[in-house]
Structure 1
């Protein structure tokens, strides 16, 4: 019985942490503003009510959700191929169409070089993640090499 092929799952580490903290801060600020937004009816030109408070909390939740959307990138690869999901869109590719797994000097994230000379960015493997990115790239290159030499 053979062992199942290794599966590699990669997500940006530092960006996820920053986005989570920022989303929490944005929501907290909007919720805080909502709690102090209510003013008595006869104290000034503007009147804020419960509907305005609810709207502020919902705006904070919407802003936090938008920030958390930046944590969407991921890469899942196994012996059969690789699935790349970026901020917008994604790709499912077999290893046979991939020429190389690259991380060019100065690039913010890694990419796949395809046999038709296209480049597919992999935003899940980011330069700011340093050793995590290096280890992930090595694992992807090993999977790619194993899959292409097995043909």
Structure 2
């Protein structure tokens, strides 16, 4: 989870359990769409699917699988200069001076960075259903924050 980087500390976190669910689910969706495309060439009621229909069905399976795999993309990288939070689509970088705290509110599904003006950034790389992995990630992130002179409120 944490690793030295150059002359300092680096905390990197990715979700664990979501990968064990999302990758097989994406594969199943893609395979089911591919098999359906092959099996639905002609139907008993006379409907004839063309090759372009079959290709489109496989394409739909690929798009759906890709959307499922977006849930495996989140990552957190933190070092002395700041925190980079990559959620499913967007990546944002914050300097430590902009981070007011790091929290995991009770009942929340993921951790978050507390920002100025009562705003926050969800950290979907640290998810509650990852259990001890999430606890270690929060400890490492908070320890790094303390080491560089910022204290959680």
- Aligned CA-pair RMSD: 1.7
More strand by percentage:
2
Structure 2 segments unaligned to the other structure (5+ residues): 1-5
How far off its partner does 1:88 sit? 3.7
Number of the residue aligned with 2:102? 101
Number of the residue aligned with 2:56? 55
Given the alignment of the two structures, is residue 24 of structure 1 paired with residue 27 of structure 2, yes or no? yes
Given the alignment of the two structures, is residue 137 of structure 1 paired with residue 145 of structure 2, yes or no? no
Number of the residue aligned with 1:76? 77
Quick check: which has more Rg, 1 or 2?
Answer: 1
Normalised to the residue count of structure 1, the TM-score between the two structures is 0.87
Normalised to the residue count of structure 2, the TM-score between the two structures is 0.86
Structure 1 segments unaligned to the other structure (5+ residues): none
| 1:26-83 residue CA offsets vs partner (Å, 9 max, x unmatched) | 001101101111128xx63211222222121111111101111122221111111100
Contact 1:96–1:148 (CA<8 Å) still a contact in 2? no
Number of the residue aligned with 2:67? 66
